[in-house]
Amino acid sequence: MQAIGGLGCTNLRALDLSYSPHVTAPALAALIDACPNLEELDVSSCPEATTDTLLAAIGRGCHSLSTLYIEFDGWAVERKRDANVISAAALVELVRGCGPQLQVLSLAGLPVATPEPGESGRLLASFARACPALTSLNGAGCAWPAAADWAAAGATVLAAEWPSLRCLSLSGAGRSAFHGKATAAQLAAAVGRNLTSLCLEGCPTICDADVMEIVQVLRGGGS
C-alpha cells in the first residue's frame, strides 16, 4: 500500500478501505497523503489503523473531503480487543484540517476517550466551529460527544456554528445522556428547528420531562 501511495493518486476522488483488519496506520496514512483530492473516504472498522496518527494524516492531507466514515463495530472489536482509543482532541484536529468542505461525518461506535468534564464542552464547540458545512453527524455509540456535552458546549454556540446540520444521531452515546431538563432543552436549542432527523435511541436516562422540554424548545417556547 505504501508503494501505491508513493506513485501519487491525484485523480482519486473516493476511497473505501473499510473492514481491513491488517492495514496499519502508517500504511494508510501514506496512501492518504498521496491522494490529496479525495472527496469521500471510508476507513471504518480498521482496528489496527484506527489511531490518532491516522486522524492526523486525514486532517493533514484531505482538504476536499465532503464525506468521511470512521465507524467502529463489533466485528472490529472482536479482532482487536485492545482497540486503540481515539482522543477527542484528535477528532477536533481532524475536522480542523478537512472540515471546511465536510458535510457528512460518521463516528458510529468509534472508541473515543471521554475528555475531562471541563474540556468536553470547549472541545465540542471547537469541533463545530471547524466544520460549518456539516449536514449529518452520526455519533451513535460514541462516548464523546454525548448528549450532555451539547449542553456544556452551549446551545447558542452550536446553533451558530452548525446552521446546516439536518441529521444528528446520538443513539447510545455516553453512559448518561441526560441530566435533567436543562440538558434536554439545550440539546434541542443547539440542533435547532432546521433538524430533519434526530435519533436518541438507547438513551436510558431520558424521561417524560426531557421529551416535553425538547418539544417546548422546538416549538419556540423554550430557552
pLDDT digits (tens, 9 = 90+) for 72-95: 887 666 666 555 689 999 999 999
Whole-number Å distance between alpha carbons of 188 and 198 = 10
pLDDT digits (tens, 9 = 90+) for 39-65: 999 999 998 898 999 999 999 999 999
Looking at residue 172, its amino acid is G
pLDDT digits (tens, 9 = 90+) for 3-26: 454 456 788 999 999 999 889 999
| Residue 147 clears pLDDT 60, i.e. is over it | yes
Whole-number Å distance between alpha carbons of 104 and 137 = 6
Mean of the per-residue pLDDT values of the chain: 80
Q: Quick check: is 156 in a domain? A: yes
Q: Quick check: is 223 in a domain? A: no
The CATH code of the domain that includes 128 is 3.80.10.10
pTM of the entire structure?
0.85
**Which segments of 114-200 does DSSP mark as H helices, in order?**
117-130, 147-153, 155-161, 181-191
Average pLDDT of the residues in 183-203: 69
Q: Quick check: is 22 in a domain? A: yes
| Residue with the larger pLDDT of the pair 114 and 137 | 137
Q: Which pLDDT band holds residue 220 (cuts at 50, 70, 90)?
A: low
- Whether the bond into 145 is cis, omega within 30 of 0: yes
pLDDT at 163: 81
pLDDT at 180: 47
Q: At what angle do helices 88-98 and 52-61 cross, to 10 degrees?
A: 10
Q: Which domain holds residue 91?
A: 2-218
The domain tally of the chain equals 1
